[in-house]
Amino acid sequence: MSEQNQRFHAISVPPKWAFTDHFVESNLRKWDLSSGSKICRFRYEKRHHKLAAEEFLMEFFNDETVQSTLQVLGDGREWVPCKPVTGVTCQVAPSDLVSLEFFDRLSTCDPMIVREKGSIVKCMDKYVDGFAIQDMLRDMLLSEESENAELFSEEEKGQLLYRLLYHMVLGGPLCQYEEDLEPYLETIKRVYKSLLRYYYLFGTCRDVHIPMAVCVVDDAGLLLLMTVCSVQKNAATGKVEVTSTVYTVSEVEGENW
């Protein structure tokens, strides 16, 4: 593909963001989310509209630069280039929450999930969907029979904050679980800010430039979070407008997905 026809260009990570932060990196390794994850950023040269999400994602996954940069885990657990895809299923993950107070109910519910000082309440051991449940937090996240199963509504469970909690708490096959809630919350806060942060490219807002943070978690089933940040100037008001849209890609149809 010629440079002129490329729509996506890989760009370096910013000097300060969550995925190069020692605290975050250490926790992702502890929760076994590093080995099956890949984070990339790209600049997109066309205008983006969230109502055309699937068209945008099809173009994304079939771009040669994306395929060689993003990569997927092969059968031998090695990173290999992505191959063309024929279909994508995605949803917009709401990301309008601005406070971790969203999780305060974990300490006020009955039965309690998190104690006042932050420790996670234990429960009787059981298995759900292959996961060992040994505390009330994992019980709430996984068990339909949990007394706290409806603590968060279905709409709230679609929020990016909740999705990050879900995947970080459950982790990968060799996850080392936390005794306290705080490491999860602090990691979520840093990752959330990085996924939604926008950057001005080339010092201009004349065109729409879209940096994307892409997070793929493979071991616990495909989780692909894609943050699309659009920067453009409103012709009517003259003001610069920035919008962030987060997609969760639930299914990719292709040869090695």
* Res 215 pLDDT > 60: no
Q: What pLDDT, on the 0 to 100 scale, is given for residue 221?
A: 40
Residues in CB range of 25: below 8 A, 6 or more apart: 19, 34
Residue ranges in 8-84 assigned as alpha helix (H)? 22-30, 53-61, 64-70
For 76-112, the pLDDT digits (tens) are: 777 888 888 899 888 888 888 889 999 999 999 999 9
**Closest by alpha carbon to 245, among 40, 46, 89, 94?**
94
Q: What's the pTM?
A: 0.83
Q: What pLDDT, on the 0 to 100 scale, is given for residue 145?
A: 94
- Cα separation, 97 vs 120, in Å, equals 23
CB distance 101 to 126 below 8 Å: no
* pLDDT over 70, % of the chain: 79
